[in-house]
Structure 1
Amino acid sequence: MRIVGWRELVELPELGLSGIPAKIDSGARTSSLHAELLEEFERDGERFVRFCVDWGGERHECEAVHVDIRGITSSNGETQRRYVIKTPLKIGTLTFRAEISLADRSDMKFPMLIGRSSLRRRFVVDSGHSWLQTPGKAPVKGHKPV
């Protein structure tokens, strides 16, 4: 198994997004991406969702197949109805399909959270290190605030 730190830079290649700062959170079931929903639409009989992702002062417009709308319980215990997409997620050199909920994470330090469903049978978390699967970044020991 690969070892992942408590924070990593990840990619969502089908959405054209790379270098996304992500917090690794084995306490969360579902991965989550900060997004502002623009519209839901249909193409070739499939449901899609168009949304914007903001981080680092840049806005990225994305489209993805809309898999579901689910009740997801946030860290404060509140259940929210969220769109869920399924798209390839790349952590380090490993790329796999992941379910990701679209949520307002504007109050969070990281625009993306990687939950245990994405980690399961792929990664072990070393909470004392950062950037273990981030090419070009030197691993950092210890938990320092971002």
Structure 2
Amino acid sequence: MKEAPFIVGLYEWISLPELGVIGLRAKIDTGASTSSLHATDIEVFNRNNKKWVRFTAHIGTLVQRGHRCEAPLVSTKTIKSSNGLSQSRYVITTQLTLGNHTWPVEFTLACRRTMQYRVLLGSKALIDGEILVNPALSYVQSKPSFTLLPPN
């Protein structure tokens, strides 16, 4: 018997357990290929002869709380925004939890201070997670609940 498709709405609650970030509101954007996470105070450093990135992830929209995170640096990527401007961004891969699904997602780190949603979930993440989007719905999946993984 075929498993039912995993359907999400235009907006959903997500968590990034490896980063210790719980309950972020994300905009699902099938028009963007890459996912993006609002990050500030970004700095690259070496750990065990590998490049890592340290940054502050911002949780909340009206009242913001900063959370310091560290992750291995995967690459840098030039991203062309919807307004046509190109920007070089650091890229990390971390586990994303949406509803009862968890899978690795590649995120670019960018200042999304002026954006309503701190996370943009792009089409590559949706394909990798085998997600179907119904843009007429919002918050179809419940807020993820789990035990946080220890910091890297």
2:39 matched to which residue of 1?
A: 35
Task: Kindly report which structure 2 residues correspond to 1:40-119, keeping only aligned pairs within 5 A, or say none.
Answer: 40-56=44-60, 57-119=64-126
Counterparts of 1:89 and 1:79, CA distance in 2: 26
3-state SS of the aligned residue for 2:76?
strand
2:132 matched to which residue of 1?
A: 124
1:12 is aligned to 2:16: yes
Per the TM alignment, residue 123 of structure 1 is displaced from its structure 2 partner at its CA by 0.6
TM, length-normalised to structure 1? 0.89
Encode CA deviations 1:95-125: one digit per residue, 9 max, x unaligned: 1111000001001000000000000151110
Runs of at least 4 residues of structure 1 off by over 4 A? none
Gaps of 5+ in 2: 145-152
Aligned length in residues: 136
Q: Which amino acid aligns with 2:37?
A: L
TM, length-normalised to structure 2? 0.86
Counterparts of 2:39 and 2:82, CA distance in 1: 17
Encode CA deviations 1:31-78: one digit per residue, 9 max, x unaligned: 000001331101112210000012322110000110001101112121
2:147 matched to which residue of 1?
A: none
Q: Which amino acid aligns with 2:133?
A: V
| Greater strand share, structure number | 1
Gaps of 5+ in 1: 137-146
Q: Which amino acid aligns with 1:7?
A: Y
Per the TM alignment, residue 88 of structure 1 is displaced from its structure 2 partner at its CA by 0.6
Is 2:98–2:143's contact at 8 Å kept on the other side of the alignment?
Answer: no
Which stretch of structure 1 is more off in the superposition, 127-136 or 108-117? 127-136
1:143 matched to which residue of 2?
A: none
